[in-house]
């Protein structure tokens, strides 16, 4: 497994690859096992049964149902990526063979000129590259490239990688600023970050250059999507504003050149994939302009557009961003893929600048709005992750547009890469997850062993294993949620030297040296900025990185009628039998008497209130028991 | 001007026509004058300049812009209706001539077989009646019929009426359950209520029968819109859930037969027009089944789906209803036409059953969510009437889909009809509006004179004028918002005999007899049902029928940061120079300090608060001064 390249002087650290990280904690390890044993096989069956895999046989004929959809290739690609990651850490000959079989199908579907897309080969063969805005050809290509890199790195087999290099070369011939080339770019960013991976994997700089072209051509004038639309002879839709608003240039972040963009707009997943590529390029090229644009976008996102769960994207309409501070709870879109995209982006920024701001958001998304996307048993998924529900929101086994399930699978199978980074003579711990990492530092193999019950407890013990004593720096993140942290080395308290939120320990390490970080983890009340109208007068509960919610199964119906008094005493309890073992929060709230309003929607007296016991569970595990209402933000008072 | 028919034994009262009602108060009379002098001429110019009127020349050729839109005929029709109502009460030879000119154009556009629709004559001539679900042909026909009836009743001229009778006859031949007929019905209800008007105007029962057919055929199996879609060869959209959700059967209330429907669903304007026709038919036919369905739908609407402004329709997505109690404020759709449609429906139910429940809602909509749709100067309109705004919501001069402006114009020009009803030997006052009504009661002409400063003051004085003393019943509505009302006759307090919310006075009346109704009108705090998540922990202010809001121009920015303490003292003041003369509400609130959150979207301490003066204005006149934020519901505490 190749370590990611580190050609940029601005990029001081790189992730420790997931193949060098073992997770054996109580929170993520069970999720990874379920992902490996249930989710990945389940998603293969779904791809198979819905025709997504066999579509690569190219034997579809007009009139047949189902019609291979423009997104289908990407679903299979993400499954290959997830399965490859799984294979990289857990030997599985049957899965290996299955991957070879699927890959052979894909390879056979490649056209003589290198083109590779099922829909535009069999369904609309004359329409290749005529609708970059909507048709997802380059998006599918990007996911196939990511799959190819993953499969090569997991198995050393070049079949898919060679296929995708040919396709990428074909794309590089088709698009660009040269004569006869189309000056297009994808409506749905994705291929940009994939091309950076392909460059890192192959060392071929032309793939980096193509990524750079796609990113920088975006939003230039004259506008490619306008020209393309006119070339298609497409007229303005008669279907009114609801429809046409999806097709603003903001929707796909092509409203202006990326270097001029300063607030996230449009479809959230597209935005995250684009910004991730911008961060990649900023690092690879030492490009300060891209870095600065990314930083503006980041600040705007985390200060005005992000839910407390790390979910992003307010509106179902554009699957994306709306106005600043517009964060309604029940109608929050918060697509699982968007939260995953936020993890991708945060993780890239963190390598460029080891500041806990990025890791805090990455952690918030991972522990809340990402992992909420899959059920504990691994075969039901949320596409949308609202922060309140009237009980109608349920996980589903699959979706017509099935981007989220395999995105979760590939994230979980490669989760280890988010925990540690390493630089020249430094090891960095971003996340607290019990397990081990193998690094090369000071010319030797170093193993870091983490022991912790995080996220249920804030005590972390790190043991260093190495052959010879060596001098290097260990950096431990002190999470932004933590107000009181103490550090001890060999059992002796030491003062903390904080560098952008990381406790920095530079010393000579000997085998068996142990560091203890103790993060106070009381129950916190969280308040949103007063401009967040949806949360005005409301409070959320958080403990450590975990955001809580109330579910109907514990608290009865009409959760919106429950207020939490500002002085209510709350208690945290680990419940080993509940939802795989979680800390719950309990106390007393005040319930507004719904019956007072019988037959009235409005009245001139407030409802009477009565005290009721309440119990909150981690948001990420809601909708794993009896279906019902859910609420994160409670009225206070 | 014909009085509406009263053939149904269940219908005990009929509206006093607006031609017999003079309004000379301080609230509505200025609105009516602006409507007559500015809005109606302005809307004519808009129709003219956008090509809507000249489109009836049928000289459009492929390639020309603009393309006559499927809604255009209805915009012109509603303007004709409004102008005709205006002509009926205010002589205007120039307007009379202009109407004749437009009507001549329309008459000339009628096809030999009676068909009359611009779009499907010149733009898509082969596609008549192939997409009843979306193409608005029957909707346009309905508005033309309403225009024809209005013009005939205002002027006695039959030109447009004859044209529309021929078109209605053509439609009656085309649709029905007979051999060779299409079993279709409109995707957008409207023609049903128009056909009832045409029946009442002409006495031709076949128009009533056609209305009845359209209403009862709706939602029958096999589903007409499905069959029609298959006949068009239309496949499933690739544009995803955002788009396809507009085309559920719920969207146009065809998900089941209307008699089985029990909750309002889908597009709110469509729903209101359909339910209005159901009420009309229930009355005309004495149809208890339709009446019962209407009552179920009504109860559900007013108990779970109506905003405090009388606005309806939560979502921009379907321009309509969502889940029970789902009443977000900033994203409220509340189309002006939907509130107008609610007035239409409430008014019809009120004639069937003189219960203040209906009049209360009619009043709530009229004084708040309807009249907010037009600026005080009469040339700017809201299509959408949210209950909170970040300052970006502004009235516009026109819309591509321009249904709301002429709908307001026709409502205001015919407003008098909503004030009074009459039955056998009874006169009913639904609304308190200074002015006069002429009725025929007990064999003679009776004039009721209302003197009041309503809605700013709750005292109403009614004087009866008649030739000979006569015995009849006078019924005066005691509004649901009023908690303390007193009645006096000839200056002497009398006990009130309430009948479904109306004070009933049966006696012999003599010329000059005066009744005084005194409605206590304190400032009220309004609370929403605890299930209304958007309003949990919030309060609105109402005084009489008027719902209040805060505007940035009076209260500074960040209105969402202002809380109203439960014990805050509030004061009402009439300000004659403000916004045409309104009562404002002032007092002190608590402002959360936004600066405390600098750079933070979430934090673990609530914002500090500081006392600030606040001032609320009637919701209906917001956005008539400097643009900025607006909020109806304030956090309390």
C-alpha span between B535 and B528 (Å, rounded): 6
B209 or A637: whose pLDDT is higher?
B209
The token duo for A559 is 């959760």
Q: How far is B526 from chain A (nearest CA, A)?
A: 4
Best of B310, B335, B392, B536 to substitute, by most chain A Cβ atoms within 10 angstroms, is B536
State whether A270 and A226 are in the same domain: no
pLDDT tens string B583-617? 999 999 999 999 989 889 999 999 999 999 999 99
DSSP string, B273-303: HHHHHHHHHHHHHT-HHHHHHHHHHHHHIII
**A205-217 vs A191-202: helix crossing angle, rounded to 10:** 160
Burial B234-268 (b: 16+ CB within 10 A, else e): eeeebeeebbeebbebbbbbbbbebbebeebbbbb
Residue A527 is nearest to which of B242, B542, B606, comparing CB atoms? B606
Question: Which three-class secondary structure state does DSSP give residue A480?
Answer: coil
Q: What is the pLDDT of residue A265?
A: 97
Enumerate the H helices of B93-222 as residue ranges: 93-109, 137-155, 159-174, 191-202, 205-217
Please check whether residue B6 lies inside any domain of the structure.
no
Quote the longest CA-to-CA distance of chain A.
77
| Phi, psi (degrees; rounded to nearest 5) at A99 | -60, -45
Q: Is A62 at the interface with chain B, CB within 8 A?
A: no
Please check whether residue A368 lies inside any domain of the structure.
yes
C-alpha span between B311 and B291 (Å, rounded): 23
State whether B527 and B499 are in the same domain: no
Residue B131 neighbours by CB under 8 Å, 6+ apart: B187, B228, B232
Q: How far is B360 from chain A (nearest CA, A)?
A: 13
Q: What is the pLDDT of residue A246?
A: 60
Please check whether residue A540 lies inside any domain of the structure.
yes
Q: Is B393 at the interface with chain A, CB within 8 A?
A: no
State whether B412 and B426 are in the same domain: no
Residue found by looking up tokens 């550090």 in the block? A487
The CATH number given to whatever domain includes residue B455 is 2.60.40.1180
Q: Any idea of the CA torsion for B16, B17, B20, B24, to the nearest 10 degrees?
A: 90
B42 pLDDT more than 60: yes
**Which chain A residues are within 8 Å of B329, Cβ to Cβ?**
533
Q: Is B600 at the interface with chain A, CB within 8 A?
A: yes
CB contact under 8 A, A323 and B390: yes
* CB-neighbour burial class of residue A610 (10 A; exposed 0-12, middle 13-18, buried 19+): exposed
pLDDT, mean of residues A416-442:
96
State whether A272 and A395 are in the same domain: yes
State whether A198 and A149 are in the same domain: yes
State whether B145 and B171 are in the same domain: yes
A244 pLDDT more than 60: no
Q: Is A523 at the interface with chain B, CB within 8 A?
A: no
Reduced to 3 DSSP states, what percent helix, strand and coil does chain A have, rounded to the nearest 5?
A: 40, 20, 40
- Given a contact cutoff of 8 angstroms between Cβ atoms, the answer to whether A224 and A218 are in contact is no
B369 pLDDT more than 60: yes
Choose, from B217, B319, B524, B551, the residue flagged as catalytic: B319
pLDDT tens string B537-591? 999 999 999 999 999 999 999 999 999 999 999 999 999 999 999 999 999 999 9
Q: Is A262 at the interface with chain B, CB within 8 A?
A: no
Nearest to A618 by CA among A429, A252, A372: A372
The token duo for B441 is 């009661």
B338 pLDDT more than 70: yes
Q: How far is B208 from chain A (nearest CA, A)?
A: 32
Q: Any idea of the CA torsion for B353, B355, B356, B359, to the nearest 10 degrees?
A: 0
**A288-300 vs A268-285: helix crossing angle, rounded to 10:** 150
Quote the longest CA-to-CA distance of chain B.
78
State whether A273 and A402 are in the same domain: yes
C-alpha span between B384 and B319 (Å, rounded): 9
The CATH number given to whatever domain includes residue A353 is 1.50.10.20
Residue B601 is nearest to which of A241, A323, A529, comparing CB atoms? A529
State whether A429 and A514 are in the same domain: yes
**Which chain B residues are within 8 Å of A563, Cβ to Cβ?**
536-537
Last residue of a domain, one of A406, A430, A447: A406
Please check whether residue B1 lies inside any domain of the structure.
no
Please check whether residue B12 lies inside any domain of the structure.
no
Which uninterrupted H or E stretch holds A550? strand A546-551
Residues forming a β-bridge with A437: A21, A448
Report the range of poorest mean pLDDT among A6-15, A157-166, A180-189: A6-15
Residue A592 is nearest to which of B239, B530, B602, comparing CB atoms? B530
Round to the nearest angstrom and report the end-to-end CA distance of chain A. 55
pLDDT tens string A344-354? 999 999 999 99
Enumerate the H helices of A263-303 as residue ranges: 268-285, 288-300
State whether A259 and A392 are in the same domain: yes
CB contact under 8 A, B531 and A561: yes
The CATH number given to whatever domain includes residue B233 is 1.50.10.10
Within B356-491, strands assigned E span 388-389, 420-423, 426-429, 435-441, 444-452, 459-466, 470-477, 485-489
- Reported confidence tier of residue A511, pLDDT bands at 50, 70, 90: very high
DSSP string, B513-541: -EEEEEE---EEEEEE-TT-GGGTTEEEE
Question: Which three-class secondary structure state does DSSP give residue B21?
Answer: strand
pLDDT tens string A296-325? 999 999 999 999 999 999 998 899 999 999
Q: Is A127 at the interface with chain B, CB within 8 A?
A: no
Q: Is A216 at the interface with chain B, CB within 8 A?
A: no
Q: What is the ipTM of this complex?
A: 0.93
* CB-neighbour burial class of residue B18 (10 A; exposed 0-12, middle 13-18, buried 19+): buried
pLDDT tens string B405-427? 999 999 999 999 999 999 999 99
- Could you list the residue range(s) of the whole structural domain that residue B464 is in? 421-519
Please check whether residue A9 lies inside any domain of the structure.
no
Q: What is the pLDDT of residue B246?
A: 60
Please check whether residue A37 lies inside any domain of the structure.
no
Active-site residue, B234 included? no
3-class SS letters over A408-453: HHHHHHCHHHHCEEEECCEEEECCCCCEEEEEEECCEEEEEEEEEC
pLDDT tens string A10-28? 447 999 999 999 999 999 9
Nearest chain A residue (CA) to B326: A330
**From residue A81, how far is each of A85, B146, B170, B630 by CA, in Å?**
6, 62, 62, 49
The DSSP code for A51 is T
Please check whether residue A553 lies inside any domain of the structure.
yes
DSSP string, B563-613: EE-TT--EEEEEETTSTTSEEEEEEEEEEE-GGGGTT-SEESSPPPEEEEE
State whether B210 and B307 are in the same domain: yes
**Which chain B residues are within 8 Å of A318, Cβ to Cβ?**
242
- Reported confidence tier of residue B12, pLDDT bands at 50, 70, 90: confident
Nearest to B2 by CA among B164, B283, B198, B278: B198
State whether B500 and B540 are in the same domain: no
- Reported confidence tier of residue B1, pLDDT bands at 50, 70, 90: very low
Q: Is A308 at the interface with chain B, CB within 8 A?
A: yes
Last residue of a domain, one of A184, A203, A234: A234
Which uninterrupted H or E stretch holds A33? helix A28-34
The token duo for A45 is 């069956």
Work out how many domains chain A is built from and give that number: 4
Last residue of a domain, one of A476, A501, A519: A519
Q: What is the pLDDT of residue B93?
A: 98
Q: What is the pLDDT of residue B8?
A: 43
CB contact under 8 A, A527 and B604: yes
C-alpha span between A368 and A379 (Å, rounded): 18
Own/partner long-range contacts of B45-53 (Cβ < 8 Å, ≥24 apart) = B46/B397, B46/B398, B46/B402, B46/B405, B47/B75, B47/B76, B47/B79, B50/B398, B50/B402, B52/B76, B53/B102, B53/B105
Percentage of chain B beyond pLDDT 90 is 93
Residue B226 neighbours by CB under 8 Å, 6+ apart: none
State whether B429 and B453 are in the same domain: yes
């Amino acid at each position: 497994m190749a370590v990611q390249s580190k050609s940029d002087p601005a990029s001081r650290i790189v992730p420790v690859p997931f193949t060098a990280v073992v997770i054996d904690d109580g929170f993520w390890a069970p999720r990874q096992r379920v992902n490996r044993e249930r989710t990945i096989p389940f998603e293969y069956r779904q791809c198979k049964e819905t025709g997504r895999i066999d579509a690569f046989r190219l034997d579809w004929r007009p009139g047949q149902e189902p019609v291979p959809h423009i997104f289908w290739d990407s679903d299979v690609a993400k499954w290959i990526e997830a399965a490859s990651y799984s294979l990289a850490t857990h030997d599985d000959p049957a899965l290996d063979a299955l991957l070879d079989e699927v890959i052979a199908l894909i390879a056979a579907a490649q056209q003589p000129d290198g083109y590779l897309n099922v829909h535009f080969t069999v369904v609309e063969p004359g329409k290749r590259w005529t609708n970059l805005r909507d048709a997802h050809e380059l998006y599918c290509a990007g996911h196939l490239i990511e799959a190819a890199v993953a499969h090569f790195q997991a198995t050393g087999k070049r079949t898919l990688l060679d296929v995708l290099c040919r396709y990428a070369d074909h794309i590089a011939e088709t698009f660009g600023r040269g004569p006869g080339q189309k000056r297009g770019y994808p409506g749905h960013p994705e291929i940009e970050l994939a091309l950076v991976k392909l460059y890192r994997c192959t060392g071929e700089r032309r793939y980096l250059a193509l990524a750079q072209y796609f990113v920088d051509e975006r939003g230039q004038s004259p506008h490619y999507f306008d020209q393309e639309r006119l070339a298609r002879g497409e007229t303005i839709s008669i279907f009114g504003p609801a429809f046409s608003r999806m097709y603003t240039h903001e929707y796909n972040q092509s409203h202006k050149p990326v270097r001029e963009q300063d607030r996230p707009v449009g479809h959230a997943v597209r935005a995250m994939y684009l910004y991730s590529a911008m961060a990649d390029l900023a690092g690879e090229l030492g490009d300060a302009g891209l870095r600065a644009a990314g930083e503006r976008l980041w600040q705007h996102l985390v200060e005005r557009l992000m839910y407390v769960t790390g979910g992003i994207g307010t509106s179902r309409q554009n699957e994306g961003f709306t106005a600043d501070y517009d964060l309604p709870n029940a109608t929050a879109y918060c697509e699982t893929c968007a939260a995953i995209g936020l993890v991708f982006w945060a993780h890239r920024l963190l390598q460029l600048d080891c500041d806990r701001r990025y890791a805090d958001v990455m952690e918030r998304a991972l522990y809340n709005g990402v992992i909420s996307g899959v059920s504990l048993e691994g075969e039901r998924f949320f596409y949308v992750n609202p922060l309140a529900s009237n009980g109608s929101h349920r996980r589903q086994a699959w979706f017509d547009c099935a981007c989220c399930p395999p995105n979760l699978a590939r994230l979980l199978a490669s989760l280890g890469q988010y925990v540690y980074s390493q630089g020249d003579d430094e090891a960095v711990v971003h996340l607290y997850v019990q397990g081990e990492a193998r690094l090369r530092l000071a010319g030797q193999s170093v193993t870091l062993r983490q022991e912790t019950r995080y996220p249920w407890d804030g005590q972390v013990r790190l043991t260093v294993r190495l052959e010879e004593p060596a001098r290097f720096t260990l950096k431990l993140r002190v999470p932004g949620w933590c107000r009181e942290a103490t550090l001890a080395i060999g059992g002796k308290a030491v003062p903390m030297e904080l560098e952008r939120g990381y406790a920095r320990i530079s010393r000579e390490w000997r085998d068996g040296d142990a560091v203890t970080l103790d993060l106070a983890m009381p129950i916190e009340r969280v308040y949103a900025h007063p401009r967040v109208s949806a949360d005005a007068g409301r409070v959320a509960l958080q403990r450590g990185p975990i955001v809580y919610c109330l579910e109907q199964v514990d608290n009865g119906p009409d959760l919106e009628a429950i207020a939490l008094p500002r002085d209510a005493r709350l208690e945290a309890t680990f419940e080993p039998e509940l939802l795989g073992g979680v800390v719950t929060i309990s106390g007393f709230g005040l319930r507004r008497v719904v019956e007072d309003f019988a037959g009235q929607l409005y009245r001139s007296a407030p409802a009477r209130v009565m005290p009721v016991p309440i119990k909150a569970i981690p948001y990420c595990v809601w909708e794993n028991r009896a279906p019902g209402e859910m609420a994160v933000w409670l009225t206070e008072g």
